[in-house]
Amino acid sequence: MFTDQERQKIDRLRLEYQERVNAIRADKRYTPEGKRAAIAREYMRVDAGVRRIVEAAQKRRDDRIRTLQQRLFSAPGGNDPAAVLSFRDAMDRAERVRDATEAAALLDRAVRTNDVALQRAVLDRAFRAAQSDPFGHRGPWVGLLDRYREMVPSMGDDIAELAELTGAGRKPGMTQFWDNVRSRTELPSELAHLPNDQIAALAARAPSEAA
């Protein structure tokens, strides 16, 4: 999800945030309420900074998904009327398959006959099914995606990348796990159980300088 630079920036924001919170806790010039409000201000500040990074990463991910989907699933032949009709027919055929076994047979036929429209239609069907496959990364629809990557190696990298970005039957890796952890700002104990709107209101009352 994140680039290395984004991970470093989030980690730096979180470290600086923790240092500021610890300094506020140790500062005896604050009243108890002023201390709590100042901590709320620091929380809102770092949460906004992390959220901006998360939103930028999410937009980049969504843009990349759209690019890959267009490359893998769009109608071959562009806007040519005959090509569009052929692709619609292929999509109807792909939607009618009852399971991954039928889809595999249809895909084999499409590869043998170099029917690109049908290949893309079945691939689109397989991706959508793989995302909800109850057997996850061991499911038959994911197996179909892997099989197509072997049959058409030129599409292999795009299929693997889209599967990773969309979670199509793939187990989340440790990188994704820690990116999810990074994207959440931990609430300090002083703000535990408070909803975000109350934290924002408390932050607005924070003194600009220690009382």
- Distance, CA of 162 to CA of 184 (rounded, Å): 25
Does the residue 200 lie in any domain?
no
Q: What range does the domain containing 111 cover? A: 4-182
Identify which has the larger pLDDT, 172 or 17: 17
Does the residue 199 lie in any domain?
no
Does the residue 195 lie in any domain?
no
Does the residue 192 lie in any domain?
no
Residue 61 has a pLDDT of 92
Under DSSP, is residue 157 helix (H, G, I), strand (E, B) or coil?
helix
Q: Tens of pLDDT along 172-202? A: 555 666 677 778 888 999 999 899 999 999 9
In one-letter notation, the amino acid at residue 4 is D
Mean pLDDT for the stretch of residues 122-143: 84
Does the residue 210 lie in any domain?
no
Does the residue 50 lie in any domain?
yes
Does the residue 198 lie in any domain?
no
Provide the b/e sequence for 174-198 (b: ≥16 CB within 10 Å). eeeeebeebbebebbebbeebeeee
Mean pLDDT for the stretch of residues 112-126: 95
Residue 211 has a pLDDT of 44
Does the residue 191 lie in any domain?
no
Count of domains forming the chain: 1
CB 34 within 8 A of CB 206: yes
Q: Lowest mean pLDDT: which of 14-23, 65-74, 118-127, 171-180? A: 171-180
**DSSP character for 131?**
H
Tell me the angle at which helices 81-96 and 116-131 cross, rounded to the nearest 10 degrees: 40
pTM of the predicted model as reported, rounded to 2 decimal places:
0.78
